[in-house]
Structure 1
């Protein structure tokens, strides 16, 4: 029997904060209460003056992703290990089939890649094309493999972009199965046209990237996906909302009673589009991701969306390409591999910019960094809550601790950090995964291959009464 007692901290859940010790035995939280006794041989973590929170859940990562002719620097081991160093104990990554590739073939490939994970993981599966086999494989994935969300790229024309026919068929099938459709909302046709326009004008550097993907392109796709979901009466989750227009589209739909959920990236909350105008190509290209970083005025809209409850989760879209890979677009910005890091920095950046500024309470921080994702993807309270019976995935958070974020000290294998030089107050002192201390005051103890695949049960028939359109909830208790 392995046991860890976290003593003297303040437990913070999404609903309340309270003084308590937390006892973890054999990978589960055994007890939460006052003055708990440590079992013989237990490791004791002193959390005096610190918070004890659910480990972060990053619902949007891309480890070992083949994309634009290359593969990301971080694989499932290095990426999840970096996450543990920052307090993130679970990731939901993406299986992305090639056009016409059977979904199950792609899923088996990604499952094999993920066997090296140091932390727990799960998968969204992308629907990149449509025929009867996709319809069938979606059923197999939900019923046998514990996949309850499907991704749809509305961008990347001539590659993995979904047309409206595919969206309609897949959304309808997801509803039948009790799964959540998710969308990358950018109008791929407009992006393709605007990229050509920029290049015709001689704009070839990274500054062309945001110009070819303006907020209106994102907003149109978000509104279209929301409208399709509304007609079909299926909930929808919009990933990496980056601009005020998309946030407003989600808020309008929710005000009308539609079940729409929004995700925000730590980068979009804190980094603005001035980075693309830096004369250093490597620096500007290091920030190329889609949707791009926006004018700073959009950041307030995103924070307000989180505060108001129109936006629900925070993620990173962790997708690390090195300078040599980014250099493929040296003479053509549309060939720069899209992606940035952040799985290690997300919690600290959001705490510093959210809690320390008064935008968020500690409980609201827990909601947007773990609990809401666990609820939306049906693994709550197994994950996302400090409660007896839950997985012992925890972060002991030092609100007074400071750190300067830098590529020189990050655990990620990427060679660029979009938060470079930012000093944050509020950092993890300890991270527990599966009841083991895997990070302690700078000492990362990640183990290759110990991460477990997390099955996410489908929601009940037609999402257990779609009349409950405005509440963020987990329709079923999760079996363990």
Structure 2
């Protein structure tokens, strides 16, 4: 049955206007003020913004790390994402050296199969760039529709790749039209600083931050950008946390290079002092890069406003405090890295960004949805509200004031890093390809409804 969404205010990356939206099947078929519709279900959106469904470009669902596995799988994680106004996620598919890339992809497809309640895609980790891998990448990009490749510059002896691997990946990505992403921290330096801290008996969570200084992130960001320029390729720097990295990205973009950056809500509203909370509570805030000195927040907000950074991903990588984060009580290096962010990403960006004047309402949509769709080959199927686009639509009430809490969130984890924070904005209903996943704040979706999205090749937005 058709759905006729009436009385709302449509917000896209470019425009804000009052109009109705008509959905037939999975797509938007008409937009207008005086639609004449018969045989349609009427959806009252009075007082709500109609937003393009959020696209989270950075999630880790059902991912092994540090001897444990993230607490959200593709069901609980995508359900929580929907409650937060996100209708698509791009998850990171890990690979092992010596393993076929297609084997790794098949493993991730199996993780999502029958579980995802919203649409999803994959980024593919590259840990080795031997001849077999470089050849296999052609079918990964063209046949599988996985058009983004992740290289870790940190986690030595676990995930970290060397500069040769990164450079070869950049060259091959240029040939194939794929985006290369980097986790930019100098893994060799970090490894030295971590060993030094442990030798000195410094084992508390705060040393996670002290051993991963912003200079190491800035250096790695600059090095990745230099290699990108040499390869004449395209680069996306994930989870930018500090001014040092922002400066390198700004310089590259001033030169016209294809360099893009993402930050995360946690870096915009939390700071290094959270890692120093008593009674091991700081472990809840251990992720990489670590939280920085508070003054970096102004730099990040300015970078989003001025287009130096283009997107905000959640880097959702949740581990329970009990039984998982506690693994590192006597050694901060054994605290699983990551936090639960997927559900609060969009509200935090609206409340702390739009409401406080750090970004405009249209920039909010661009940062959380449209630019992601354009950078990762999903636009205009996703990332906007337009005739012919997927009917991924969020009814969002901007007036509601509420308090973030583990007691009310839907993530499968026993704490919330933003506990007690008062925010404005609440997701009322969410449609994914024309079907309700959340309706009047109640879950009405079902596992397996989400589809894998084959993405197109990189095209400069």
Shorter-chain-normalised TM-score: which range?
Answer: over 0.9
Q: 2:392 corresponds to which residue?
A: 393
Tell me the TM-score normalised to structure 2 length.
0.98
Matches of 2:201 and 2:147, distance apart in 1 = 44
What do residues 146-198 of structure 1 show as CA deviations (whole Å, max 9, x unaligned)? Answer: 01110000001001101011011111111100001110001110111110111
2:141 equivalent in structure 1: 142
Q: SS at 1:60's partner residue?
A: strand
CA contact (8 A) 2:13 2:370 kept: yes
SS in 2 for 1:437: strand
SS in 2 for 1:59: strand
Aligned to 2:295: 297
Q: Is the 8 A contact 1:99 1:160 kept in 2?
A: no
Report deviation, 1:77.
0.7
Post-superposition CA distance 1:325-348 (Å, at most 9, x none)? 111111110111101011110110
- Provide the TM-score with structure 1 as the length reference: 0.94
- State how 1:148-159 maps to structure 2 within 5 Å: 148-159=147-158
CA drift at 1:446: 2.5
Q: What residue number does 1:377 align with?
A: 376
Q: Give, in whole Å, the separation in 2 of the partners of 1:197 and 1:102.
A: 37
SS at the partner of 2:189?
Answer: helix
8 Å Cα contact 1:65-1:71 kept in structure 2: yes
SS of equivalent to 1:30: strand
Offset from partner CA, 1:122-166 (integer Å, 9 cap, x none): 000010112111112211110110011100000010011010110
Quote the residue 2:242 is aligned against: 243
Match of 1:436 in 2: 435
CA distance in 2, matches of 1:10, 1:184: 38
Alignment partner of 1:307 out of 305, 308, 311:
305
Q: Secondary structure at the match of 2:437?
A: strand
Tell me, yes or no, if the aligned pair for 2:170 and 2:234 is still in contact at 8 Å.
no
Aligned residue number for residue 106 of structure 2: 108
Greater mean alpha carbon deviation, residues 438-447 or residues 152-161: 438-447
Deviation readout 1:226-255 (Å, 9 max, x if unpaired)? 000011111110000000110111001101
After superposition, the C-alpha distances for 1:77-97 in whole angstroms (9 at most, x for unaligned) are 110000000100000001110
Distance in 2 between the 1:315 and 1:410 partners? Answer: 18
Mapped to 2, the partners of 1:18 and 1:278 lie a distance apart of: 45
Q: Distance in 2 between matches of 1:38 and 1:342?
A: 39
Offset, 1:18: 1.2
Q: Decide whether the 8 Å contact of 2:265 with 2:348 is kept in 1.
A: yes
Contact 1:374–1:383 under 8 Å retained in 2: yes
- Confirm or deny that 1:122 pairs with 2:121: yes
List runs of 5+ in structure 1 lacking aligned partners.
464-471, 474-480
Q: Which moved more, 1:206-215 or 1:432-441?
A: 432-441
Displacement of 1:362: 1.1
- What is the aligned counterpart of 2:76 among 68, 74, 78? 78
CA distance in 1, matches of 2:199, 2:423: 42
Note if 1:322 corresponds to 2:336: no
Q: For 1:156, what is the secondary structure of its paired residue?
A: coil
**Which residue of 2 is the match for residue 197 of structure 1?**
196
8 Å CA contact retained: 1:11, 1:53: yes
Whether contact under 8 Å (2:117, 2:437) holds in the other structure is no
Shift of residue 356, structure 1, vs aligned partner: 0.2
Could you say which residue in structure 1 is the equivalent of 2:159? 160
**Distance across 2 between alignment mates of 1:233 and 1:171:** 8
Contact 2:60 2:317 in 1 (8 A): yes
CA contact (8 A) 1:157 1:192 kept: yes
Work out the CA distance in 2 between the residues paired with 1:141 and 1:381.
22
Q: Is the 8 A contact 1:99 1:159 kept in 2?
A: no
Matches within 5 A, 1:239-278: 239-278=238-277
Counterpart in the other structure of 1:469: none
Distance 2:423 2:122 in 1: 30
